[in-house]
Chains A and B, each alone.
Chain A
């Protein structure tokens, strides 16, 4: 199993600013993903974080808005750029050891944009 730590756990930000969320895994995982979850809703996959290369984004999500880094197997960051109130959400980092395997989740980062 893997333990995933995210920070910040929550933040309140001003419109137009950017926030970087960090995700640290306590063991090596092959796959790392970033999801967004509106309160009371399901998870929407933002992108797959690829080690040492550009992330793979899902439809509706672009690198300019959500730049992602993954410099090694245990660490990734997601930046929410030029934030608007519509970006208010919970952002979840997850990791897995292979395609189709169990995913481990962080506790999430709750972002409120005023």
Chain B
């Protein structure tokens, strides 16, 4: 299978709460990226973390990377109803040119 795993598969929270999504991947990577997809739309890039980085912030987003465990997490703080979407991690394989996507987490933020 191409894909890594993400958990949870689905997450429902109240507006204002934090949302944490986890991702595991299978191969050595150069970078790990996170994307968002609104229903019926294409994917939008959120953040990229390099293999030599452990944590990165962008606005309300915080990403961590543990290359020894081949895992990453995305934290969205102070969630909003507009954050409702599917979130995918994507691993850029070391020594290659392709990006492999995880299974995705469907986030639903209730107003």
Task: Determine whether B103 belongs to the interface, using a CB cutoff of 8 Å to chain A.
Answer: yes
Using Cβ atoms and an 8 Å threshold, which residues of chain B touch A35? 101
Instruction: Give CA–CA (A94, B90) in the complex, Å.
Output: 13
Instruction: Give CA–CA (A107, B48) in the complex, Å.
Output: 21
8 Å CB contact of B90 from A40, A41, A103: A103
A103 near B102 (CB under 8 angstroms)?
no
The B contact surface, by secondary structure, is: strand
Instruction: Give CA–CA (A106, B42) in the complex, Å.
Output: 6
B102 near A105 (CB under 8 angstroms)?
no
Instruction: Give CA–CA (A43, B1) in the complex, Å.
Output: 11
Interface size on A, residues (CB 8 A): 25
Chain B contacts with A in 94-111, Cβ cutoff 8 A: 96-104, 106
Contact A103/B96 with A42-B103, A44-B2, A44-B3 known, Cβ cut-off 8 Å: no
Q: How near does chain B come to A34, taking the closest CB pair, in angstroms? A: 11
Chain A contacts with B in 9-42, Cβ cutoff 8 A: 31, 33, 35, 40-42
Task: Determine whether A52 belongs to the interface, using a CB cutoff of 8 Å to chain B.
Answer: no
Instruction: Give CA–CA (A41, B33) in the complex, Å.
Output: 18
8 Å CB contact of B43 from A31, A45, A99, A103: A103
Q: How near does chain A come to B6, taking the closest CB pair, in angstroms? A: 8
Instruction: Give CA–CA (A106, B97) in the complex, Å.
Output: 19
- For this complex, 28 residue pairs linking A to B, each with C-beta atoms less than 8 Å apart, are A31-B97, A33-B98, A33-B99, A35-B101, A40-B106, A41-B103, A42-B3, A42-B101, A42-B102, A42-B103, A43-B43, A43-B88, A44-B2, A44-B101, A45-B99, A48-B97, A58-B98, A99-B30, A100-B92, A101-B48, A102-B33, A102-B45, A102-B48, A103-B35, A105-B44, A106-B42, A107-B41, A108-B42
A residues near B (Cβ < 8 Å) are 4, 31, 33, 35, 40-45, 48, 58, 92, 94, 96, 99-108
